[in-house]
Structure 1
Amino acid sequence: MILTSGLTLFGIGLLAAAILGIASKLLYVKEDPRIALIENSLPGANCGGCGYAGCSGAATAIVAGIAPASVCLVADAETSAVVAAIMGQEVVQREPELAVRDCTGGLRATDLFHYEGALDCRAAHLLYGGSKSCPEGCLGLGSCMRACPFDAIHMGPEGLPVIDSTLCKACGNCVDACPRGVIGVSGMSARLLHLNQTTDCLAPCRQKCPAQINIPRYIEQIKAGDYDGAVMTIKERNPLLVTCGRVCPRPCETVCRRQYVDETVGINMLKRFVADRELRSGVHLPVPCAADTGKRVAVIGGGPAGLSCAYFLRRLGHSPTIFDAMPALGGQTRYGIPEYRLPKADLDWEIQGILDLGVEAKLNTRFGRDFTLESLRADGFDAVFIGIGAWQASGMYAEGEDLDGVMGGIEFLTAHALGQKPETGNKVIVVGGGNTAIDAARTCVRLGADVTLMYRRTRNEMPADVEEIVGAEDEGVQFKFLAAPARVIGDENGKATHLEYYEMELGEPDESGRRRPVKKEGSEQRMEATLIIPAIGQKPDLGCLYDDNEEGTCPLETTRWQTIVADPDTFETAIPGVFTAGDVYTGPDLVISAIGDGRKAARSIHYYMTEAAIPVPETTQKGMIPYTLFKEIDSVERKKRAVLPHLCHGEERNCTFNEVEGPLDEQQALAEADRCLRCGLVCYDRDEPFLAEERETTPDS
């Protein structure tokens, strides 16, 4: 019996062995030897940060072609090179990335309700979007911290995640764990390409800034004494910070929450402080650029828009060449802004910093004469940017304005900047109320003339910066308000001698919101003049775009204001691959607006050359976010705003083109930075004395 059983089991064993032997021949799967080689080359951390189940899973994915040789987040570049060699691939070193937090709320954000659910941000978000009052801010329950396999995140004392850059491997687990998008993974290029989103932590000043500079961050860096860090934060959005520190009219300050406590924060003063600190050092801080892409872009026009576009294209790894008709770069910042506001040596230094990145410039080269769009294509440029500005002065629409002794405002300022010394005589009339009119008037004062500025509305309606108007008054410019030119009167030699004008009165508001000036019949008067400068507007000169044939056709769509039509989201014109921005697109506008749009155009050009489409997210911020514009600011101590020092005083200003204003000193800058409320969408810093008082008066719960 035992023998029979033993033989039976032995027979079954032989049969099973035979079946397995046959199956192994039929079903055998040979493992790719590269998997073992790659797994042995990886660090063996098995952290899962790469998204695969350990190093074996990652090695299998690499061999299958699903993952790149650089998939491991823990390994260094040498390991990636070894893995690539096993796969017969070339390693392209990727840009360093880090997890970054975009929220300043934390404990400052008030609670909408008392939350007693699971201590997980994703769970809390499912309940009415979470308990915090800010719809986009951090919920503070630390899901990102627990999701990080490298212990690179901890919750700080302000109730916000703090990221250790030395431990972060940019795996993205924290991004996946955050339901509010508070944390993101980005490198330099991603930051340069990012457009403000309504889901970002945007203080009102950031929303209003045409260049989208992260104002709260650079002020916080100044407050901490990290002046170089502040410069680099600004340079992620604006390469002309020395220039803007002097000429920007500060739209950001018009929405600063601090104005509802005492006065707005001197945002532009602080920009100038750190910009001048770099300037006076004589050394440009190193600006990183991405690896060369081999793509070439022609940038037509070397003004603020063109310089900004070229700067950001170069930082993204492309090769821009600037073509400019003038003998030096800068556009209106050089030829339209006088030396006493923006010293040309400072502008030269700033522009040189852009060129030193590897931007080529071809000067005295006129579009339409020395080259065309077709010739640029033939020369191998992959895209074209047109930023030729608005250099053509608008007329007064007055009889006799073509007489000798009548010179447009931008024409006069350009001639002076070129050293041509236009003849002013002793009685100058400047017609207009904008910054160009003020600049022309103050320049003529410095050339020894008695100057009258004529404006058809009142002082309250003048579009020029208040500081510029006050400066003109201090220097002796006379103002003739509610007066408009009727005709220019000349002598027998065709030289202007008088300006005849009408008295005006204000009627109903027009499209701009200002009261419309209405002529008083029979109010004509004359004023003697040796030079009349109309400075009532500018428009682009698009003659360079027209063909020389009889039809005189223009390849681009234009408007009745002589501006180029382009997509408002991408800045691409009717010709694919041709983009535009600046005054030739918007009409005369701010320097900071041209800089901001130059970056956005560079972004579109980058995507045009590297990807099939130009992405514009639906959440892209285009206007102010209404719920962030509240005016009730409590628990904040009143603090006096800083005042910029004046380098020139009294009569000294009237006989020199030396710079009028100077920068804050370090003590003033630190005090002004301390006035910033470090705003987010709805949160802001309250002062400790008020908070202590609140804690004392709040009953225990």
Structure 2
Amino acid sequence: MVTSSILVLFLLGLTAASVLAVAARILHVKEDPRVVSVEACLPGANCGGCGYPGCSAAATAVVNGDAPPELCVAANMETATRIAAIMGSEVQFKEPKVATNICSGGSRANLLFDYKGVEDCRAEALLYGGEKSCGIGCIGLGTCVKVCGFNAIRLSDAGLPVVDWNACRSCGKCAEACPTGAIRISSVASVLLHLNQTDDCLAPCMQKCPAQINVRRYIQQLKQGDMRGAMLTIKEHNPLPLAVGRVCPAPCENICRRKIVDEGVAIHTLHRYVADWEMQSGTRVNLHCNPPSGHKVAIIGGGPAGLSCAYFLRRVGHEPVIFEKREHIGGMMRGIIPEYRLPAKVVDWEVQTILNLGVETRTGVAFGRDVTLADLEKEGFEAVFIATGAWKVPPLGIDNDDAEGVLDSISFLHGVGHVYTDLRGKTVAVVGGSNTAMDVVRSAARLGAEVVALVPCIQRKMSANKEEILRAVEIGGDLRYMTAPLAIEVENGAVSGVTYCDLAYDNPEKPVGEPKPVSGTKAFVRADMVIAATDRLVDDGPLCDAEGKPMFKKDKKTGGITANPTTLQTDIPNVFVGGEVHTGRSILIQAVADGRRAARAIHFHVTEGAVPEPDNQQVQVIPESILKDMRVNYSIPRVQEPLISMDERRHTFKEEVAGSIAYEKARKEASRCLRCGLTCYDADAGAEYTLDEDVTVINAPGGE
């Protein structure tokens, strides 16, 4: 019985073996030897960051043509080149990526839960919705550290992830494991071209900045003495830090949380300090640029918007060429904004920094006259960015507004120092309340003139910066608010004065709308020169076709070219627009922001053929980030910029009115920053200066 059973089993086994042998011969697929060779090139991490379950599967995908030679996230371009040689193909540039922690930590609302279960961020988030009230904040249990196969992440003393960018291989495991999105994978291009989104950790200042500069990070880097890092952080979003640090009205400061307890942080001053540090060092911070992509882009206009667009395009690898009507690059930064606000040497440094990246320029070339869209297309440009600005000053529209002695603000400012060198004994009447008008007032006063400005609104309704208004008054400008010119008086064909009247709002307690003339208030001011500075408009001439028809739709409110607000793409798909030719008269930082936004759109247009728009783009200030009350422990007085004397201001155009601050003052001001996140902040900001006489303890640290 036993013997027969054994015999049966033996025969069954033999039969099965025979069948399997035959099947193996029939179904055998010979392994491609290239799979072994490709797998030998891979680091063997089996991290899965490439999307395949291990290096063997990845090697098979490459050999089968399902994946490119550069698929491995844990390898470098040298590895990709070796794999491409095995496959007889060419390797494409693959931009390096790294993990980044977007959470800044700091005091939040009371902890919602005190979970004592599994020490895992995902369990915490799944079971209890997260430990802290911030929806995108780091939970702090270190799940990202545990899943990293390259020892590239550690937790800081504050319980926040710190990424070693040299060790990071962008496998994405940390980002997958993080339940709140506090860890993200990014590259140079993705950072440079990223638009704020509502699920980003955005402090109020970062939300309000048109260029979306990471204010929190560069201020902390300055505080730590990492000036190079601070400069690189600023230049992720702003290629003109020296100019912006001097003339920006700093809308970011108006929403700073510090204002809840004392004064907002001097963000503008710190921005300038970092920028000045680089120029004063004499050595430019090295900026990474991706290899040339072969995509050519034409930039029409070499002002702030055009320069910014060219900068970002070049850094992500494209090949921009700037076409400039004037002989010098820089737009209104050069020769229009006075040197006592923005010195020529500063503009030279900024422009050269951008050109050094490999940006080509062609000056003395006017769009519409010397080059057209058709010409650019024939030359191989795949996209065009129009940033010609708003240089046209409208006439005053009153009697004798073309008389001898009547000038527009741009012509006057351009002529200061060579056409207009001495106005002593003369009276200049300026019409308008813009920043340009204040520049005219200050410049005319420096030339010795008595200056009267007719401002058609109350002071807080002026478009000019508060600081510019103050400087105009300090130097002797007579600003007559709520007035409007009625006619320019002429004697012997030349200006002799201006007749004007008072204005009033329908409801003085609620000044809205346009103020109206008040009857019986006619007055006269003697003037040898009248300068129109009411507005600056877009010149339509170059924007028309050969038959004189407009090539683009215009916005009735701004007078600028209409475009998609996110992509800045016009009705002509390969033409984008930005700066004042799109927005109408605006501030420099808005032009910078438009340049970056357009570069992002152009990048997608030339590489993918379509421009994606984020579904969750942050456009308005996020309501939950506006706190009504905070517990801050220390109050430190805001730093003050040093100013040259009034006598010096009246005798020089070359020396800046406002100077830079010393490092220790910059560091102390940086310590005032609350290191804000979306809802969090550092209540102990400035604690290291507790013993200074000017520091006040508001709340006892750790108290209730």
Counterparts in 2 of 1:357 and 1:509: CA distance versus 1, 3 Å: farther
Counterparts in 2 of 1:691 and 1:21: CA distance versus 1, 3 Å: farther
Q: Following the alignment from structure 1 to structure 2, what is the Cα–Cα distance between the partners of residues 541 and 273?
A: 36
Counterparts in 2 of 1:329 and 1:41: CA distance versus 1, 3 Å: closer
5+ residue gaps, structure 2, are: 691-696
Structure 2 counterpart of 1:421: 420
Deviation for aligned residue 1:656: 1.2
One-letter identity of the residue aligned with 1:534: A
Quick check: 1:288 aligned with 2:288? yes
Q: Following the alignment from structure 2 to structure 1, what is the Cα–Cα distance between the partners of residues 515 and 378?
A: 52
* TM-score of the superposed pair, with normalisation by structure 2: 0.93
Q: Following the alignment from structure 2 to structure 1, what is the Cα–Cα distance between the partners of residues 240 and 149?
A: 41
State whether residues 641 and 659 of structure 2, in contact with CA within 8 Å, keep that contact through their aligned partners in structure 1: yes
Aligned residue for 1:568, secondary structure, equals coil
Deviation for aligned residue 1:249: 0.4
Deviation for aligned residue 1:469: 1.7
Structure 1 counterpart of 2:526: 528
Deviation for aligned residue 1:481: 2.4
Deviation for aligned residue 1:7: 8.3
Structure 1 counterpart of 2:579: 582
The Cα offsets for residues 44-77 of structure 1, whole Å up to 9 and x where unpaired, read as 4445554444332332232233333233344444
Counterparts in 2 of 1:606 and 1:46: CA distance versus 1, 3 Å: closer
Structure 2 counterpart of 1:264: 264
One-letter identity of the residue aligned with 1:314: R
- How many residues align? The count is 691
Aligned residue for 1:78, secondary structure, equals helix
Structure 1 counterpart of 2:177: 177
Structure 2 counterpart of 1:450: 450
The Cα offsets for residues 70-121 of structure 1, whole Å up to 9 and x where unpaired, read as 3334444433322222222222342222100001126656312333444322
Deviation for aligned residue 1:588: 0.4
Structure 1 counterpart of 2:537: 539
The Cα offsets for residues 422-447 of structure 1, whole Å up to 9 and x where unpaired, read as 88571101111121111001111122
Structure 2 counterpart of 1:507: 506
State whether residues 261 and 636 of structure 1, in contact with CA within 8 Å, keep that contact through their aligned partners in structure 2: no
State whether residues 153 and 162 of structure 1, in contact with CA within 8 Å, keep that contact through their aligned partners in structure 2: yes
Q: Following the alignment from structure 2 to structure 1, what is the Cα–Cα distance between the partners of residues 215 and 371?
A: 40
Q: Following the alignment from structure 2 to structure 1, what is the Cα–Cα distance between the partners of residues 154 and 698?
A: 26
Which one is further off, 467-476 or 12-21? 12-21
Aligned residue for 2:231, secondary structure, equals helix
Q: Following the alignment from structure 2 to structure 1, what is the Cα–Cα distance between the partners of residues 85 and 301?
A: 46
Structure 1 counterpart of 2:679: 682
Which one is further off, 585-594 or 97-106? 97-106
Structure 2 counterpart of 1:637: 634
Q: Following the alignment from structure 2 to structure 1, what is the Cα–Cα distance between the partners of residues 289 and 349?
A: 19
Q: Following the alignment from structure 2 to structure 1, what is the Cα–Cα distance between the partners of residues 647 and 502?
A: 32
One-letter identity of the residue aligned with 1:585: H
Counterparts in 2 of 1:677 and 1:11: CA distance versus 1, 3 Å: closer
Deviation for aligned residue 1:308: 0.6
Q: Following the alignment from structure 2 to structure 1, what is the Cα–Cα distance between the partners of residues 649 and 41?
A: 71
Aligned residue for 2:123, secondary structure, equals helix
Q: Following the alignment from structure 1 to structure 2, what is the Cα–Cα distance between the partners of residues 410 and 145?
A: 58
The aligned runs of 1:394-405 (5 Å cut-off) are 394-405=394-405
One-letter identity of the residue aligned with 1:541: D
Quick check: 1:557 aligned with 2:556? no
Q: Following the alignment from structure 1 to structure 2, what is the Cα–Cα distance between the partners of residues 107 and 258?
A: 14
Quick check: 1:656 aligned with 2:655? no
Counterparts in 2 of 1:53 and 1:462: CA distance versus 1, 3 Å: closer
The Cα offsets for residues 307-338 of structure 1, whole Å up to 9 and x where unpaired, read as 11111111111111111111211112223311
State whether residues 334 and 347 of structure 1, in contact with CA within 8 Å, keep that contact through their aligned partners in structure 2: yes
Structure 1 counterpart of 2:694: none
State whether residues 297 and 381 of structure 2, in contact with CA within 8 Å, keep that contact through their aligned partners in structure 1: yes
Counterparts in 2 of 1:166 and 1:482: CA distance versus 1, 3 Å: closer
* RMSD, aligned α-carbons: 2.4
Aligned residue for 1:115, secondary structure, equals coil
The Cα offsets for residues 167-210 of structure 1, whole Å up to 9 and x where unpaired, read as 22110001111121111111111111111111111000000000
Counterparts in 2 of 1:301 and 1:93: CA distance versus 1, 3 Å: closer
Counterparts in 2 of 1:321 and 1:73: CA distance versus 1, 3 Å: closer
* TM-score of the superposed pair, with normalisation by structure 1: 0.93
Aligned residue for 2:358, secondary structure, equals coil
Quick check: 1:278 aligned with 2:266? no
State whether residues 508 and 516 of structure 1, in contact with CA within 8 Å, keep that contact through their aligned partners in structure 2: no
Q: Following the alignment from structure 1 to structure 2, what is the Cα–Cα distance between the partners of residues 264 and 103?
A: 22
Deviation for aligned residue 1:515: 6.4
State whether residues 499 and 528 of structure 1, in contact with CA within 8 Å, keep that contact through their aligned partners in structure 2: yes
Structure 2 counterpart of 1:597: 594
Deviation for aligned residue 1:165: 2.2
- 2:613 equivalent among 598, 601, 616: 616
Q: Following the alignment from structure 2 to structure 1, what is the Cα–Cα distance between the partners of residues 37 and 168?
A: 27
One-letter identity of the residue aligned with 2:347: L
Q: Percent same amino acid among aligned pairs?
A: 47
